[in-house]
Amino acid sequence: MKITDIRAVYPNYRQPLGGWRPYLWQIVVRVETDVGVTGYGYGGGGVAAVEVVNRHLRELLLDERCDSPADIERLWDKLYTASIPYGRGGIAIMALSGIDIALWDLLGRAERQPVYALLGGMSAPRIRAYASGDDAEWFAESGFTAHKVPFSRSVDASTFERAAAAAEESRRHLGADALLMFDCYMAWDAATTREMARTLAPYDIYWFEDVLTPDDLDGLAALRPQIKPILLAGGEHDFTHYRFADIARAGALDIWQPDVTWCGGITATRRIIAQAQEAGATVILHRGGEPWGLHVIAGTECEALGELVLGNRNRSHEQLWLDEPQPVDGYLTPSDAPGFGLRLNEALLD
């Protein structure tokens, strides 16, 4: 089949978006073909990425064939190369991610197969989910057995006491056997991380996430052995397999966390997973409980642990994608419908 049109749009988000997100959150990409099959993708980069897709990358895809995974890989390489002068990371690769995901959805719909089958998966497994947020009691009531605590406020005299209290609350509600992680979002330095490892030692923490900035690979590599048995995780702000090769060479992280909608899509994520296997690292996707992440988990050697960013029981969530898999007793199962098995909520595109 030939690609006849491709368009990106920034949804009309109605829920307030904080920080950098109001104009730079997720985009929708639609790819149309000469056989009447349409694929839908999800990328980052906001209004800037929409311009990258519609004003540059679109023209490179018109009349291209998309009949196999090899075609998608070829198109990924073409778009990456064309965007090198202003890309290689950031918004350009977030835009490419949305296109790539749309092409995988397109191929799955055309072949009447779920994306995980195109990736080599044989069936849709139950995937353990972990809840990110600050409502441990609700997560336990909902059946989750894994919890990531957001802990990104600036460091002050109460920081370690607050961290211990958060860990204590999570353990009280979810129990001693639950997985417990901390997301620092680049708010700590090396000394804080070492002291936090000592403070939280009684709580059996699985990983610390994003403790330093992603540019400080040497600092991360030096810190890894100093906080054992806690593992060092990161990678959501890193792009493509080229950057993860740097992470591998530096030995910077125990757990790699590419975001499928940011790092270059499914094509780049597959390459990153292959690199991780060679480097002896574990891949646990950032926001891996979203549909594209679930299909990657089901179809590759990625660790079967999917993140759901839930916040707390009072937070509302916009339904941009209809028919998303919902957690049942703390587990998720990817759709076995063609593509990702989703419908787009067109009301949010008005």
- What's at 208, amino acid-wise? F
User: How far apart are the C-alpha atoms of 303 and 288, rounded to whole Å?
Assistant: 10
Element (H, E) at 344: strand 343-344
Task: Select from 329, 325, 267, 321 the least CA-distant residue to 296.
Answer: 267
- Count the helices and strands in the chain (H runs, E runs): 12, 14
Q: Which entry of 147, 241, 286, 295 is annotated as an active-site residue?
A: 286
Q: CA dist 95 to 269, 307, 321, 350, Å?
A: 15, 22, 18, 21
- In Å, what is the CA distance from 348 to each residue of 9, 95, 154, 261, 264? 10, 19, 35, 19, 24
Burial of residue 123, with CB atoms counted within 10 A of its CB: 0-12 exposed, 13-18 middle, 19 or more buried: exposed
State yes or no: is 241 an active-site residue.
Answer: no
Beta bridge partners, 146, equal: 179
Pairing of strands 127-133, 331-332: antiparallel
Residue 83 DSSP SS3: coil
The answer for residues whose C-beta is within 8 angstroms of residue 92's C-beta and 6 or more apart is 45, 49, 52, 83, 86
Residues belonging to the active site:
286
